[in-house]
Amino acid sequence: MHTRLNQAQPYALALFRIVVGLLFACHGAASLFGVLGGAMGGGSIPAGTWPGWYAAVIQLVGGSLVVLGLGTRIAALISSGSMAYAYFKVHQPEALFPLQNGGEPSAVFCWVFLLLIFTGPGALALDRLFSRGGAESDSEDRAREQAPAVTV
């Protein structure tokens, strides 16, 4: 059973990356364009408003790049940092714990994107199309993906 789970790991990671990126991009689209319920109860954030508009741009662009698996680690780094900023500057001053201050989404997105920085995009990423080495790099990646996970 562990072997099958290990073989499916890159695809499970890709599905995780796609869903998280889509959710993040939807937050940005809602804030920038007023779709999907809009920002804070409707409407959009005025262009150039600090920090909301810039956060929304990071959410839309970063989330889209993560969905596509294009520059995933860098997009995840910037996205994670923006969520850490949102948590500590907007939510944490209101109360200590995320459950009390409404900062759960910011905290979760921050940690999820931090994880993607270290794991990479998994399978089904556009980065693979542009990787150096073409087919050789693909076979090395497949061998690395099929290697058993470290167990304790």
Tell me: the pLDDT tens digits for 2-50? 888 889 999 999 999 999 999 999 999 999 988 888 777 778 888 888 8
| Predicted local confidence at residue 135, as pLDDT | 46
Structure tokens given for 15: 């599905």
- Could you identify the residue written with the tokens 């910037």? 78
Rounded to the nearest integer, the mean pLDDT of the chain is 87
Residue 93 is given by DSSP the state T
Q: What is the pTM of this model?
A: 0.81
Structure tokens given for 102: 């409404």
Residues 151 and 27: their CA atoms lie apart, in Å, by: 36
Q: Indicate the helix (H) or strand (E) that contains 70.
A: none
Per-residue pLDDT of 87-128, as tens digits, reads: 999 999 999 899 999 999 999 999 999 999 999 999 999 988
